[in-house]
Homo-oligomer: A and B are copies of this chain.
């Protein structure tokens, strides 16, 4: 597997565009379209939130169709809590694209991100559909990645190539979301994380869903900026088969290779979100090892990654590891506190549940001055592990989020 340049249009047969439709007060690009030249099988993963935005309801219905060729996305408005009028607007977005490029509307998926509880300005979208479609291009991935952003400061895109038999398959992706980030995306059941993945692999819909499910659990679902789960989190993957590999229809070696490449891509994209987290000055990786079972490892990694106190001291470059153990102990996981070791920047500070006397405080302090910080919690009770990512909690985060809607 090799990493290559490009995002959603890196794989064969994908075109994209992103334009300004006037929904963002900033006047930046806010309407995006992704198009596959060949019918693609699709899978989607959606937020576990009980409140689900209208585009999620429509996309879930449309995913029942066998193939898909387009995804329309707006930023600046979540189209959430808008009742039936919101549902009609989401459906209209699909309809406009379907008519414009001659598809059935069920072949079009929809995603939205932005503020909750404001009427979607559907006329502004409708007026821009011709411009959006006409501009579709093989090099339009960049515009797409830009138009899906909200409070993000940089575009997030990446692609990988993987060899399957005699064929080379490309997987590309773009994502957004640097606030209200604590996704728990479930395939076909349940981000305002938005992630769009495209690939030219030939694969069955069932295998694509399985691969996406595996990738989500170890990537976006382990990322956190603020611990707030959105009503709009969505990840779509389109696979159009244009790589003409031997079609993946069961969990063969090719399935494993493809899924591992997809997992790598999804992890890298998820880490990009966290690095650009609202107000973030640090990137933090939390590794939990030695757990009896995966679930315990995941719970502890997630609890530590969402500790406000820990995130504040990381902002202050203060290696206050007491906050790591307080969070780990509050995770609801069962473990022997007297067996636990904790490492900051690779230096052991807690051994068997007790502070290490005379550890090198200068080296630990120096590790907290870096932009990337590593924290390891070793339970020493088993072989399971999990890794979560978060950023620090800064005054800028509070500033950004105290002024968002007004």
Contacts and interface: CB of A to CB of B under 8 A. Distances in A.
Interface in A304-319: 306-310, 312-313, 315-316, 318-319
Interface string A63-102: 0000000000000001011111010000000000000000
A326 B398 contact: no
A49 B340 CA distance: 14
Given A227-B308, A337-B51, A326 B116 contact: yes
A154 interface: no
Contacts of A394: 398
B228 A50 contact: no
A229 interface: yes
A328 interface: yes
Given A83-B355, A394-B398, A326 B228 contact: yes
A362 interface: no
A19 interface: no
Interface in A138-166: none
A81 B318 contact: no
Given A83-B353, A350-B81, A355-B81, A50 B329 contact: yes
Interface string A221-248: 0000011111100000000000000000
A316 B231 contact: no
The secondary structure that dominates the A interface is loop
A117 interface: yes
B404 A313 contact: yes
B326 A51 contact: yes
A225 to B, nearest CB: 9
Interface in A359-406: 393-395, 397-406
A84 B83 CA distance: 60
Contact of A309 (B180, B309, B323): B180
A109 to B, nearest CB: 22
Contact of A321 (B117, B230, B309): B117
A116 B307 CA distance: 15
Contact of A312 (B331, B398, B406): B398
Interface string A257-287: 0000000000000000000000000000000
A52 interface: yes
A159 B165 CA distance: 78
